[in-house]
């Protein structure tokens, strides 16, 4: 069981990183191999919407995106962490997501499990953590849970959030181990796959790599 945690705070003493470390600790205690990556250590260019990845499976940028992406593809569990920056994730996390439109089309994260954490100065941490999970969900991952904490709630609440994060890590490991099925999510994943089948069929002459992937998966 492999779990990768990715933090998109630029700060070395990241509050969000503390929550992420606690999730990974829980996952590790439950038997997972864990790895923590700081997104700001990686060079990630912006998506230019050229569609090359849809056509060839490769990006035009020669940067460090695939260093992270290959680890995500290998992992059974993905934990994302971002502080709230103007009621959203940090730009670096969004840059990562925008490079993953092909992952959405091909539902490449089906069978994986995810969890997300966020901190905010005053508000919005839960919403940001939910957005992180929703992004992984539309790529196919099943959501195990979130922790979001606003620092203005005080030290005691932060301590509780650390404990909840460790529990989230335990739950993530449990879901991976038992290949847990979440019926509501399974239904939405099936609907998403149907939508993607229609899209890829419609674009099959242009998005040849994605079409081949669907054929190989026997989805079309
Ligand atoms: C550019 C920037 C934007 C921020 N925007 C918000 C915000 O909209 N709402 C909020 O409550 N806190 C906001 N914050 C505060 C951070 O979310 C908060 O300090 C967080 O705990 C930082 O996490 P980190 O230590 O992991 O970097 C912002 C901070 C920065 C630097």
Question: According to the model, what pLDDT value does residue 34 have?
Answer: 98
Pocket test for ligand 1, best of 86, 122, 132, 161 (most atoms within 8 A of CB): 86
Q: Which domain holds residue 21?
A: 2-182
Residue 11 half-sphere exposure toward CB, CA atoms < 13 A: 13
Q: What is the CATH number of the domain that holds 17?
A: 3.40.50.360
Terminal CA-to-CA distance of the chain, rounded, Å? 30
Identify whether 53 is part of a domain: yes
Average pLDDT estimate for 110-133:
98
83 lines ligand 1 (CB under 6 A): yes
Question: According to the model, what pLDDT value does residue 209 have?
Answer: 98
Identify whether 188 is part of a domain: no
Q: What is d(CA 55, CA 106) in angstroms, rounded to the nearest whole number?
A: 12
Identify whether 44 is part of a domain: yes
Identify whether 205 is part of a domain: no
Taking only the tens place, the pLDDT of each residue in 196-216 is 999 999 999 999 999 999 999
Residue 212 sits at the vertex; the CA angle it makes with 208 and 216, to the nearest 5 degrees, is: 175
Number of domains in the chain: 1
Identify whether 131 is part of a domain: yes
Pocket test for ligand 1, best of 84, 86, 147, 154 (most atoms within 8 A of CB): 84
């Amino acid at each position: 069981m492999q779990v990768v945690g990715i933090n998109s705070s630029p700060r070395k003493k990241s509050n969000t990183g503390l929550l992420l470390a606690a999730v990974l600790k829980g996952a590790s205690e439950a038997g997972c191999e864990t790895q923590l990556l700081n997104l700001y250590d990686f060079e990630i260019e912006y998506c230019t919407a050229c569609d090359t990845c849809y056509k060839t499976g490769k990006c035009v940028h020669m940067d460090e995106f695939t260093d992270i992406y290959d680890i995500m593809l290998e992992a059974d569990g993905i934990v994302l962490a971002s502080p709230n920056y103007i009621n959203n994730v940090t730009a670096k996390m969004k840059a990562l997501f925008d490079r993953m439109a092909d992952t959405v089309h091909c539902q490449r994260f089906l069978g994986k499990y995810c969890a997300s954490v966020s901190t905010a100065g005053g508000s919005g941490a839960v919403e940001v953590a939910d957005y992180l999970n929703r992004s992984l969900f539309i790529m196919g991952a099943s959501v195990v849970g979130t922790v979001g904490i606003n620092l203005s709630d005080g030290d005691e609440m932060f301590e509780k959030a650390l404990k909840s994060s460790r529990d989230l890590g335990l739950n993530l490991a449990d879901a991976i181990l038992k290949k847990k099925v979440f019926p509501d999510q399974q239904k939405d994943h099936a609907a998403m796959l149907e939508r993607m089948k229609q899209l890829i069929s419609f674009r099959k002459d242009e998005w040849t790599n994605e079409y081949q992937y669907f054929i190989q998966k026997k989805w079309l």
